[in-house]
Amino acid sequence: MSKRHDSLEGLRVAITGGTSGLGLALVETLRARGAAVAFVARNGARVAEVARAIPGAHGIAGDVASKDDIHPIALQLTGALGGLDVLINNASTLGPVPLALLADTECEEFEAALRTNVLGPFRLTKALLGALASAARSGRPALVINIISDAAINAYAGWGAYGASKASLAHLSRIWDVELRPQGVHVIAVDPGDMDTPMHAAALPDADRASLKRPSDAAREIVALIEAHGKEAARAAREHAEPASA
Amino acid sequence: MLPANTPNQRPPDARLLVADASGRLRHASRDWLPRALCPGDLVVANDAATLPASLRGTHVRSGAEVEVRLAGRRSIAAGAVREFDAVVFGAGDYRTRTEDRPLPPVLRPGDSLVLGPLRARVQRLLGHPRLIALRFAGTPDAIRSGIAHHGRPIQYAHVEQPLALWDVWTRIAALPVAFESPSAGFILDWRMIAELAERQIGFATLTHAAGISSTGDAQLDARLPFDEPYLLPESTVQAIECTRERGGRVVALGTTVVRALEHAGAGGGPLPSGPGIATQRIGRDTRLRVADAIVTGTHEPGSSHYELLGAFASTSLLERISDALERNAYRTHEFGDSLLLERQTSALARPACVPCKLSIALV
């Protein structure tokens, strides 16, 4: 069977929050393009269901908000994929549902939002940094994509826990990126836009779904970013190699 | 030497004993390592992540409690999780020294082991009542999940608190294929890696499935190290070739790196990249072909790690090193202090290397 021209075969991608919304669309899109994909989600039964439905996708049950789950997740991700090129920190929580004013947000709810949306991506990135840097040393693209939101930039009433945690993740991404560039690992924050997802429905049950972006469209845009990064990394690797062989 | 009994990979007071090519000994703070090397040198580290290789469970035929320590594999592929060699202990846990742990029940080919969510079968005995080849049932994903959730890092009686997985993963841990931590790599953090680059010192990695360091059984320990698969990336081979062409030294971070590099380089020709299985023992009679220096923990005479140092230095220098470590109360074991040992006689003519000045005392 010939390889399709836009194949991502050989690319190793890990996605958190992979059983619904954008995460599921990313698993589907990347698998359809031939990438090796492993995904993480909390509900073991749902993980097994998605893994069965998408042949070749490796499902891992775990909670990125739990410190004790991080290394078992990292071990299974790199073990299943034989290394790692791209990590997509997509798993998110809204904080209080229904949405609450900050003044009505319980401290515990805010802490829970920070655990899932900030500490989880921080811990998982740190645990997988060895694998990502190893990929970069071998001339492969090494990329971390942190999924954020325009609520990280604009102040929307009722989106305090979510917005503040995503703002933190966005800034964390910028600092990671500055620090990790010398290792060949790039970190970007991506706002996929308002999508028709279970999370959006939980936040704004009365929203006009027809006006919302389809997760599959957002997934295609993110995959295009990954491809562009891969081409840039390959170009940089060639330039790096040329002086040595001259 | 004192046992390092807390799982702190980089204690601020960690020390480095430097034994240079002329046999001179100096003491330094361990974070001085980049300053003890030269521009143009290349540090090669083992980036294997450590499996939680200790699995508790039951030997079904006898009903006896056992601890199974995964200890060997035939392939470096992270996907190869069905078959392992393993050392089996009877009842008890890490609080009992391995030397004092009881034998497991009599193990026979075909016996079933229930290890938490994992099911395994004894395939054969490997010449010792504790040592078996086993095969897990289930899909690779299910086996990995079982090991990840039920397994615990192999524990040490000299470390007071139970080790968590993050205690035994180096900063650069990548593929989960090691059974015990490649602990020489504990010295590294990302700041040190950046400092190496700033000082024009190269950094490269290989992946070596570091096996168990000790079983507590004299007969078995005499067979260590077991065969260990490794993967030598093409980028690392290129970095080594470039380093040699320019007169730099290859500094192996840990005994596992020496074993992999010297196995790959045993033919004497160009260093091949790719997977291999290190089967050799390295000692005083070994002619080193790749490694010019080693950074390692402080090892007790008699261990296979100590024996390996004989390839780098004479018996008399190793005795002086042991004496200096002892007299200056260096800490030993996995979380202990470090030794930088330069090869005393180099087969290749190299330009004299003048490392940056160390503000340290001569011993």
Q: Render pLDDT for B138-147 as a digit per residue (tens, 0 to 9).
A: 999 999 999 9
d(CA B120, CA B134): 6
How far is Cα B25 from Cα B18, in angstroms, rounded to an integer? Answer: 6
Is A134 in contact with B78 (Cβ distance < 8 A)? no
**Cβ distance of A133 and B172 shorter than 8 Å:** yes
Q: Which CATH number fits domain B2-49+162-342: 3.40.1780.10, 3.40.50.2300, 3.30.470.30, 3.30.930.10?
A: 3.40.1780.10
Nearest by CB to A78, from B49, B149, B236: name it. Answer: B49
Contacts of A71 in chain B (CB under 8 A): 148, 164-166, 169
How far is it, in rounded angstroms, from Cα B51 to Cα B53?
Answer: 5
Residue type, A25: A
Q: Which of B140, B171, B175 sits opposite A78 (nearest CB)?
A: B175
Does position B361 have pLDDT exceeding 50, yes or no?
no
**d(C-alpha B356, C-alpha B362), whole Å:** 15
Residues of chain A positioned with their CB less than 8 A from the CB of B164: 71
Q: Do residues B50 and B176 touch, judged by C-beta distance below 8 A?
A: yes
- Average pLDDT of chain A is 94
Question: Which whole-number Å values give the CA distances from A208 to A94, A192, A193, A204, in the listed order?
Answer: 19, 18, 15, 9
Distance separating alpha carbons of residues B294 and B343, to the nearest angstrom: 8
Structure tokens at B283: 């000692």
Strands A36-41 and B25-29: what pairing?
unpaired
Cα A95 from Cα A116, distance rounded (Å):
9
- The two tokens of residue B4 are 């390092």
Name chain A contacts of B236, Cβ cutoff 8 Å. Answer: 137
Task: Evaluate whether A125 touches A89 at the Cβ level (below 8 Å).
Answer: yes
Contact yes or no for B19/B317 (Cβ under 8 A)? yes
Q: Does residue A151 sit at the B interface (CB-CB below 8 Å)?
A: no
CB contact under 8 A, A179 and B190: yes
Reply yes or no: is the peptide bond before residue A215 cis, omega within 30 of 0: no
Cβ distance of B165 and A72 shorter than 8 Å = yes
Task: Please indicate, yes or no, whether the overall pTM of this predicted structure exceeds 0.90.
Answer: yes
Q: What is the pLDDT of residue B229?
A: 97
B54-150 adopts what CATH topology?
Thrombin, subunit H (2.40.10)
The pLDDT of residue B184 is above 50: yes
Residues of A marked as catalytic: 162
**Worst-scoring range by mean pLDDT, A122-131, A236-245, B307-316?**
A236-245
Residue A45 has pLDDT above 90, yes or no: yes
Domains of chain A, residue spans: 12-245
Q: What does the radius of gyration of chain A's CA atoms come to, in whole angstroms?
A: 18
Instruction: Enumerate the residues of chain A whose CB falls inside 8 A of the CB of residue B245.
Output: none
Distance (Å, whole) CA B247 – CA A89: 43
Nearest to B68 by CA among B110, B97, B109, B107: B107
| A36 contacts chain B (CB < 8 A) | no
Answer yes or no: do A138 and B234 touch at CB < 8 A. yes
Tokens of B119: 């099911």
Taking CB atoms and an 8 Å limit, are B174 and A130 in contact across chains? yes
Length of chain B: 363
CB contact under 8 A, A183 and B193: yes
Distance CA B55, CA B146 (A): 10
**Which among B141, B166, B205 is the nearest to A134, CB-wise?**
B205
The residue whose two tokens read 């703002």 is: A167
Instruction: Please tell me which residue of chain B has the smallest CA distance to A51.
Output: B141
By DSSP bridging, strand A12-16 and strand A36-41 are parallel
Among B300, B304, B296, B302, which Cα is nearest to B337's?
A: B296
Q: Is A66 on the interface with B (CB under 8 A)?
A: no
Q: State the average pLDDT over residues A98-126.
A: 98
pLDDT-above-70 percentage for chain A: 95
Residue B100: CB atoms within 10 A of its CB come to 9
Q: Are the beta carbons of A78 and B235 separated by less than 8 Å?
A: no
What is d(CA B83, CA B229) in angstroms, rounded to the nearest whole number?
Answer: 14
At A36 the three-state DSSP class reads: strand
Please state, in angstroms and rounded to a whole number, the distance separating the CA atoms of residues A54 and A36. 12
Q: What's the average model confidence in pLDDT over B46-54?
A: 97
Q: Mark residue B247 as left, alpha or beta (left: phi above 0; alpha: psi -120 to 50; beta: remaining).
A: left
Q: Tell me, what's the pLDDT at A242?
A: 61
Topology of the domain comprising A12-245: Rossmann fold (3.40.50)
User: Using 50, 70 and 90 to split pLDDT, how confident is the model at A3?
Assistant: low
Q: Each residue of B141-164: pLDDT tens digit?
A: 999 999 999 999 998 777 788 999
Q: Are B4 and B335 contacting, i.e. CB atoms less than 8 angstroms apart? A: yes
Q: pLDDT higher for B142 or A6?
A: B142
pLDDT tens-digit readout, A189-240:
999 999 999 999 999 999 999 999 999 999 999 999 999 999 888 888 777 6
**What does the alpha-carbon distance between residue A130 and residue B185 come to, in Å, rounded to a whole number?**
12
Q: Which candidate, A129, A185, A173, places its Cα nearest to that of A149?
A: A173
Chain B residues with CB within 8 Å of chain A CB:
47, 49, 51-52, 77-79, 81, 140-141, 144-145, 147-149, 164-166, 169-176, 190, 193-194, 197, 204-205, 207, 233-236, 238, 242
User: What is the 3 state secondary structure string of chain B?
Assistant: CEECCCCCCCCCCCEEEEECCCCCEEEEEHHHHHHHCCCCCEEEEECCEECCCEEEEEECCCCEEEEEEEEECCCCCCCCCCEEEEEEECCCCCCCCHHHCCCCCCCCCCCEEEECCEEEEEEEEEEECCEEEEEECCCHHHHHHHHHHHCECCCCCCCCCCCCHHHHCCCCCCCEEECCCCHHHHHCCHHHHHHHHHCCCEEEEEEECCCCCCCCCHHHHCCCCCCEEEEECHHHHHHHHHHHHCCCCEEEECHHHHHHHHHHCCCCCCCCCEEEEECCCCCCCCCCCCCCEEEEECCCCCCHHHHHHCCCCCHHHHHHHHHHHHHCCCEECCCCCEEEEECCCCCCCCCCCCCCCCCCCEC
Q: Give the span between the Cα atoms of B57 and B68, in whole angstroms.
A: 8
Contact B141 A80 (CB under 8 A): yes
Least confident of A19-23, A76-80, B210-214: B210-214
Count A/B contacts: CB-CB distance under 8 Å.
96
| pLDDT, mean over chain B | 91
Residues of B in Cβ contact (< 8 Å) with A78: 49, 78, 174-176
Stated as kind and residue range, the H or E segment containing A176 is: helix A160-180
| pLDDT tens digits, A127-185 | 999 999 999 999 999 999 999 999 999 999 999 999 999 999 999 999 999 999 999 99
Residue B229, C-beta contacts closer than 8 angstroms, at least 6 positions apart: B73, B74, B75, B76, B177, B208, B209, B275, B276, B277, B278
What are the angstrom distances between the C-alpha of A201 and each of A101, A204, A207? 18, 5, 7
Where along chain B do its domains lie?
2-49+162-342, 54-150
Phi, psi of A189 (to 5 degrees): -105, 135
**What would the two tokens of residue B160 be?**
């007071």
Is the pLDDT reported for residue B358 higher than 50? no
Are B253 and B46 contacting, i.e. CB atoms less than 8 angstroms apart? yes
Q: Are B220 and B131 in contact (CB under 8 A)?
A: yes
